[in-house]
Amino acid sequence: MEQKEIRLNAGKRKSLVNDIRRHWEEKDCPEKQDFLGAREDATEAIDSAFETTTNVVQRRFKPEHIFGDRSLTFYQKEYNTVDAVGTDSCFFMKVTDAPKVLDKYDDEVEKSKHFSFELDGDTGGDYGSGYHSGSSNNGKNFAYSMYREDMKKVGLNPDCNIENDTNNVEATNRGYKTNPYLSQCRNDNFDFLSGKQGGTNLFQSWKDKFKLHIIGTGGCRSRAIPCSDLEFAKFEMMHQAKQDVVLKHTKWLQVILAKVKVFEAGVKLMTKFSQVEKYASHPKINWTINPEILVDKFGTDVIISIDNLADQTYNIGKPQQTREEKIQARMLYNNSKVSSLAS
């Protein structure tokens, strides 16, 4: 058989769309560099903020009161009814040397805010807001951004929230932000980040890395820690850096999704693989198509020999006699009948 031309079908088009997304994700571009740079900046901002937080917390909760002989830790170990010392990785900071500020309702409030060093900790929050869990939706987006490559390697989708918000603008505006696929992605991502798939519990490792000893029990709101306005600004810089990671991740993915969408519309008008190859080899594209896409034989036009095909069909079943063979067989049959009558 002689191969003529590979024609496109729905399966091949889908494979090509997935492959060109891989191409654009691997290709360098300004938006990708901004995203990678934002992650580096966030790492530095978090470490710097934690250094400042350590000074602020230990100024409020003196280490000599927590550790050593006759300390609170000593009595806590001595008496099981004493519960005075614990560790935390989220803190409620309150400025003591600055005037009040306006909250989102334009009410004057103390300049205070919750700052979490947890991997999925809130990256925003309003002034004067009360205690809430460190975990948050925007914090999970930050976690997806920081561990994107690791999650992609095991077949997860750390871009799921961005894809949903970008591809379903109308549904998002109406408040319908979830769907079964999105929910499954989020569940799988959570299992990975929490170590349920056999890896490191990244949520716990971040808590352990950024934990400090505090005196007192209850939520962050019940132990507001005094700090200076300058120290508070350092904490807000951490929030801004984490927000910037998610923002740059989003902008990069939106560029990729837009490019993929253009190709997806164009490939629907193509009928032959050679058209895709011409597009891929364009100097503005430079896409090396995954050769495994061509392993699928469906959609291939071939030129075949009609004689060979007829022979293959003809030879199915018992072989047929020629005209001469039929005449000879008939003569043998007639002769055998004459012989039997004569006898």
Over residues 146-160, mean pLDDT: 96
What single letter denotes the amino acid at residue 313?
Answer: T
Over residues 284-303, mean pLDDT: 71
Q: What is the pLDDT of residue 133?
A: 47
Answer whether 115's CB lies under 8 Å from 239's CB: yes
Torsion of CA 104, 107, 110, 114, to 10 degrees: -20
Answer whether 1's CB lies under 8 Å from 304's CB: yes
3-state secondary structure of 91: strand
Q: What are phi and psi of 234, to 5 degrees?
A: -65, -40
**Other residues' Cβ atoms within 10 Å of the Cβ of residue 270:** 17
Task: Assign 305 a pLDDT band (cuts: 50, 70, 90).
Answer: very low
Q: What is the pLDDT of residue 35?
A: 98
Answer whether 134's CB lies under 8 Å from 90's CB: yes
Which range, 96-100, 169-173, 232-236, has the best average confidence (pLDDT)?
A: 232-236
- 40, two tokens: 């580096």
Q: What is the pLDDT of residue 303?
A: 34
Q: Which residue has the tokens 């999105």?
A: 182
Over residues 54-69, mean pLDDT: 83
Report pLDDT digits (tens) over 15-59: 999 999 999 999 999 999 999 999 999 999 999 999 999 999 999
Report pLDDT digits (tens) over 98-125: 888 887 788 888 889 999 999 999 887 7
**Other residues' Cβ atoms within 10 Å of the Cβ of residue 206:** 22
- 18, two tokens: 């997935």
Q: What value does the mean pLDDT of the chain take?
A: 82
- 147, two tokens: 């561990």
What single letter denotes the amino acid at residue 48?
Answer: S
Answer whether 303's CB lies under 8 Å from 4's CB: yes
Answer whether 157's CB lies under 8 Å from 189's CB: yes
Answer whether 203's CB lies under 8 Å from 118's CB: yes
In a 13 Å sphere around the CA of 100, the CA atoms on its Cβ side amount to: 8
* Strand positions, DSSP E, the chain: 2-6, 85-88, 90-95, 101-102, 108-109, 112-116, 212-215, 225-227, 300-303
Over residues 216-227, mean pLDDT: 70
The closest alpha carbon to 127, from 154, 95, 155, 153, belongs to 95
Question: Is residue 342's pLDDT more than 80?
Answer: no
User: Where is average pLDDT lowest: 40-44, 249-253, 308-312?
Assistant: 308-312
Q: What is the pLDDT of residue 296?
A: 56
The b-or-e profile of 113-137 (16+ CB within 10 A means b, else e) is bbbbbbbbbbbebebbbeeeebbbe
Partner residues linked to 215 by β-bridges: 85
Question: Is residue 61's pLDDT more than 90?
Answer: no
CA 7 to CA 5: how far, in whole Å? 6
Give the global pTM. 0.78
The residues near 113 (Cβ < 8 Å, ≥ 6 apart) are: 92, 93, 125, 126, 127, 128, 129, 232, 235, 236
